[in-house]
Amino acid sequence: MYSKDQASQIRQAFWTAFGQYIAPQLSADGLRINWINYKTGIKHLNFKMQADNRSAYIAIEIAHPDTGMQELIFEQFKELKTMLHTQLNEEWEWQLHVTDENHKTISRIRKVLPGTSISNKSDWPVLISFFKPRMIALDEFWSVGQYSFEVFK
């Protein structure tokens, strides 16, 4: 078992390693971007990567405080569902109005990788191989799909 400080250092080391690994990858628009803190340009709409000691996931998270607005944004993603899944080359889990780890109501579209631990360095290649292609695919989707969300800016 790790202390809080040790666990924090391990998480930080993983995200630093992942950031260095993916940094040379240009966005779909040919730009250098911060993949870990990806900016969608839409407030309360984020692409999130999360890993803990049991699993990992990558998600499109809609965290607007107004659940009605969350639903509108979620519905807009549903309109683009075929395009999104084609770009991702897989289907993701769609969750409208769920409670996140901070006890806030959010909506999200996500893919989970069970049975991995960020604390286990031998799992890091698996985690990187999980996150990298999906983040790149999300960016490729967003390069075209973002224009359908202009009304939410």
**pLDDT tens readout for residues 120-144:** 999 999 999 999 999 999 999 999 9
Query: Vertex 100, ends 95 and 104: CA angle to 5°?
Result: 105
Average pLDDT, rounded, for the chain: 96
Radius of gyration of the chain (CA): 16
Residue 97 in tokens: 């109005």
CA angle 29, 70, 27 (to 5 degrees): 10
Q: Does the pLDDT of residue 94 top 70, yes or no? A: yes
Q: What percent of the chain has pLDDT over 70?
A: 99
The two three-digit tokens of residue 102, written as one number:
């901070």
**How are strands ordered across the β-sheet holding 93-99?**
45-51, 55-62, 105-114, 93-99
Q: Is the pTM of this model over 0.85?
A: yes
Tokens representing 12?
Answer: 């930080």
What is the per-residue pLDDT for 134?
98
What is residue 25's DSSP assignment? P
